Chain A
Amino acid sequence: MSSVTLANITKRFGNFTAVKDLDLVIEEGEFFTFLGPSGCGKTTTLRMIAGFYYPSEGKVKFNEKDMTTVSPENRNTGMVFQNYALFPHMTVYENVAFGLKVRKKKKAEIKKRVEDVLEKVRLKPFIDRQVSQLSGGQQQRVALARALVIEPDILLLDEPLSNLDARLRDEMRNEILRLQREYGITTIYVTHDQVEALTMSDRIAVFNVGNCQQIGTPTEIYNQPVNDFVAEFIGETNLLDVEWKQDEEEFYSGGLNRRIEVTPPGPETNEGPLKMSIRPEAIQVSETELTGPNVLQERSIWFNLQEKPCIVSSQSMRVKLL
C-alpha cells in the first residue's frame, strides 16, 4: 500500500496538451476517483501512474519514492482495463496466475493464492474455463482478480464498468467496493459516470479538458461545486446568472428580478460572471403561501429556494455553453 503524489504534472502529445499542471495527493488506502467527460485527460493521468506514459513535466511519487520514469513492470500496480485485456489464449487460472508466475512464486503458493482470490470474486467454479467462455461480468471479475492477486501497492481501474449492462454495473460496483475495503488497497478509479463516482469514492477529482477543476469528497463536490462546470456535470441543477452588487452588498438575479440570499456566502466580487446553482431537491414547492428571503410566487404556487443556492464562478474551461 502506498500514497500517490502527482506534482505539477503536464503531459503533452505533440502540440496537444492532455493534462495541465496537475497537483494532487492520494492518501494510503483511499478510494479516489477521476471523473470527467471523455477526452478530459483522466485516462492519460491514470496511464502516467501506471507507467504507460511518462509526464512531459512534473513528478509521480509513490510514498516518497520517485517513480516518474520507472517502467510499468517495476511499479507493482494492478490495473483493470476498460476492455479487461484478458489473455485470450489462457484459462481463468492462467490469467490470474500470470503476475505470480512473473514474480517467480512457488507453484503451490501460486495455486493457493489464485484459488483464494477467485473465491473472493466468486469465480472458483470457473477456474478452468477459457476466458472467452465467460460472460462480461465474469470477465470483469477475472480482470479484477488478476490485478488483486499480485497484492499491488495501487489498484488502477480504467472505466471498468462501462461495458456492462445497468444491472451488472450495480452489482459490480458493490463488488469492487467490497474488495477494496477488504484488501484496503489505495484505489484510483477512472469514470465518466457521476453516479459511480458519487457512490463509491472517498474523494473525487473532477477533470475537464486537461484541467483538474475540483478535488473533494462527494458531498463537497455536490454541495459546494467550485464552478459551473462541476455544478452542471455532477447531478441535476439549475444554473442562473447572478451578479454581486457591491453597493447593496447583495447577490442579484436579473432573470428572477430579485435579490438572493445565500449561506454560506459566495464569492462576493464583481470580477467575472457568476452563476447560481440550485439543486432540484433544494427547492420547496407549496400551494400554500410561504414566507422567507428566497421565495418566488408563480400564480398560486410558491417556490422556496431557501438559502441553499450555491454561487459559483462561470470562468471554468467550458466546452459547451448552456
Chain B
Amino acid sequence: MLNAEKRKTLFLLIPIILILVGYVLYPSIETLLESFKRNGSMTLQNYIDFFGPKAQSNLEALWNSVYISLLSVLLSACIGIPLAFIFTRYDFPGRSFFSGIAIMPIVLPSLVGVMAFMWLYGEVGLVPSAIRDIFDLEEVPFSIGGVSGILIVHAYTMYPYFYMTVSSALNNVDPSLEESAANLGSSRLGVFWKVTFPLLTPALVAASLLVFMVSMASFSAPFLLAGGYRVLSLQIYFSKINGNLEMAATQSVILSIISISFLLFMRWFQSRKDYRMGTKGIGAHRSEVSSPLLKWVMVSLGVVAMIVLLLPHAVLAILSFVPEGSWTWQTYPTSFNFENYRLLFEDPNIWDPVRNSLFMAFVACLGCFVFGMLTSYALVKRKFIGKNLLDILVMIPWALPATVVGMNLILAFNKETPFSFGQVLVGTYWILPLAYFVRFIPLVVRSTSAVLEQLDDSIEEAAQSLGAKWFYTFRRVVLPIIMPGVLSGTLLAFVQAVGEFPTSVLLYTLDNRPISIEIMNQLRLFNLGQAAAFGMIQVGLIAIVMVISYKFFGVKSENTL
C-alpha cells in the first residue's frame, strides 16, 4: 500500500508528467520520426541529404551558425567583462546610473532591436547617411548587413549575459582573498591571474555557454539581416515555408542535438564542485578613481556608451511618430505626428495584434504560473524515482531553439491527437498560446526553484504538525513565501511572450497574429512608422511589467535572467 506522502506525490506528478509528455516529449518525438520519413517510408535519406554532397547549403548553414555563435561569444565577452569590472571595482560620478543603463538591451525584444539597428546603421541607415552628409562624402562610409550586422546585433543583445553573470560573481568574491594574495607579495597582475580569474571561471563558462546557445537559436537577426547568408535556424524556416517538412524536421533534429548536448553539458558543469566558498556577502570594495583626468575620461566614455546603448530605443521612439508614406525615398523622415498611435486605437485591424499579443501572453503565463509552481514544488520538495529525468524534460523547452519548438508543435499537432483533444491545432488560434506556454515553462520553474530551495523543510512540517492538511499548508504557508520567485518568473515569461517572434512566425494565422508578426508585415509594406509604433508598444509593455515587478515584488530585472 502506498502511504499518504507517496500518494500525494503521485497525484502531483500525474498532471505534470501528462503535460510534459504531451507538449514537450511527444512533439519532439514526432519531429524525430518525421526526420526519418521520405514519401511515407522510413529511411535515412534526409540525413544523407543533409550531410551529403547533394545539399551543401545545409552543412554550410550549420558551420555558419557555429561560426557566428563563437564570434558572438567572443564579442559579447569583450564588451561585457570589462564593463562588469569597471562598474563593480571603480567608483566614479554616475556609476550606478550607467550600470543601470548597461542592462537596457534586455528590454528590447529581438525583432524590434534588429529593426532599430537596421534603421540606424543599415545601408540607408540614419547614422551612415548623416556622416555622409556632414562630411560631404560620395558614398555612405559604412553600413551593417550580413555577417557583420548579425554579429553587431548579437553583441549588443547578448553582452548583458556576460555583464550580469560576471558582475554577480565579482560581487561574491571575498575581497580579503585578493588582499591576502597582495599581502603575500603578489603583484596586481599576479593577483588577477592567480586569484580573481580562477574564481570567475565558473561564471565565464556559464555565460559563454548561454550566449553560444542563444546565438545558435537566434532567428530575428538573421531573418532581417542575413541576406543570402545561411544559418541553421533560418534554414528550418525556409524548409517549412517551401513545404519540405521532412527536411525541416531533419534540420530541427540536428539543431536540437546540439542544443540538448549543451544543456546537459551546462548541467554537468554547474553540478561540479567548484571552489566558491560560503563566506558571507561582503560589500565589494570599490576603488575611488582619484586622478581627475581619468575620472572625466571614464565619465565621458560612460556617456558615449550610454548614447550608443540607447540610440536604438531613441530611434524607435522618434520613428514611431513618422506617418505612413512620409519617409520613402527621403534620407531623413520629414514629418512627425501622432497618426500611428491614433490608428492603433481607432483602426481595429491595427489594434488586433496588440490585443492578440496581450491575450495570448496572458493565457500562456497563467498556464506557466500554475504549472511552473507545481512542477518546481514537486522537483524541489518531493522525493520520487526519475526526478533527474523530469528535471531535464522541464528544461528542454529552454534549451531548444524557438524555431525547433515551433517545428515540433507543427509536426505534432497538424493531425488529431489525444493531447489536443482530437483536434487539429495547427492553423487555429490556440496553437500560439500553447507554443508560448511550452517555451516559457522553464523560466517559471527555474525562478521558483531558486526560492523553494531556500525554504527550510521544517516550515512545512511545522504547519503540518499544527494540523494543516497538505493543500492548506501549500496555500497558506508555502505559496506566500515563494510568490516573489513565481511572479518574477511569470513576469519574465510575459515580457518574452509579448516580444516573441520565431515561433510566432511559424505558427501564426490571420486571427491570432501577434505584434511581432504585424511589425514584420508593416516592414514589408515599408510602413516603417507603424512598425516602430508597434515596437514602442512592446517596449512600453515590457517596461511597465519590469517597473511593476520591481516596485511591488522587489524583483530586480537583473536577477530574472
Identify the A interface with B (CB < 8 A): 50-52, 54, 69, 71-79, 81-83, 85-89, 98-99, 102-103, 146-147, 150, 156
Contact = CB atoms under 8 A, between A and B. Distances in A.
B468 A102 contact: yes
A102 B467 contact: yes
A157 B412 CA distance: 56
Contacts of A79: 461-462, 465
The main secondary structure of chain B at its interface with chain A is helix
A71 B473 CA distance: 14
Contacts of B458: 81-83, 85
Interface in B58-84: none
Interface in B437-467: 456, 458-459, 461-467
A85 B463 CA distance: 9
15 contacts: A50-B465, A52-B461, A71-B4, A71-B5, A71-B464, A72-B464, A73-B465, A75-B465, A79-B461, A81-B462, A85-B461, A87-B481, A98-B463, A99-B468, A146-B462
B465 A102 contact: no
- The 8 A-B pairs at the shortest CB distance, nearest first, are namely A99-B466, A85-B462, A85-B458, A79-B465, A72-B464, A81-B458, A102-B467, A89-B480
A77 B467 CA distance: 8
A102 B461 contact: no
Given A52-B461, A74-B467, A85-B461, 4 more contacts: A51-B464, A71-B4, A89-B480, A98-B468
A316 B469 CA distance: 42
Given A50-B465, A73-B464, A99-B467, A87 B3 contact: no
Interface string B462-487: 11111111001000110011000000
Contacts of B462: 79, 81, 85-87, 146
Interface in B1-35: 3-5
Contacts of B456: 83, 85
A85 B462 CA distance: 6
A69 B3 contact: yes
A102 B481 contact: no
A99 B456 CA distance: 19
Contacts of A81: 458, 461-462
Nearest to A81: B458
Contacts of B480: 89
B461 A73 contact: no
A102 B472 contact: yes
A77 B462 CA distance: 10
Nearest to B483: A89
Contacts of A75: 465
Given A81-B458, A81-B461, A85-B458, A73 B477 contact: no
B467 A76 contact: yes
Contacts of A52: 461, 464-465
A99 B469 CA distance: 11
A91 to B, nearest CB: 13
B451 to A, nearest CB: 12
Contact of B469 (A50, A73, A98): A73
Contacts of A51: 464-465
A78 B3 contact: no
A78 B481 contact: no
Given A85-B459, A87-B463, A73 B468 contact: yes
A87 B459 contact: yes
Contacts of B461: 50, 52, 72, 79, 81, 85
Nearest to B463: A98
A91 B3 CA distance: 34
A36 B466 CA distance: 27
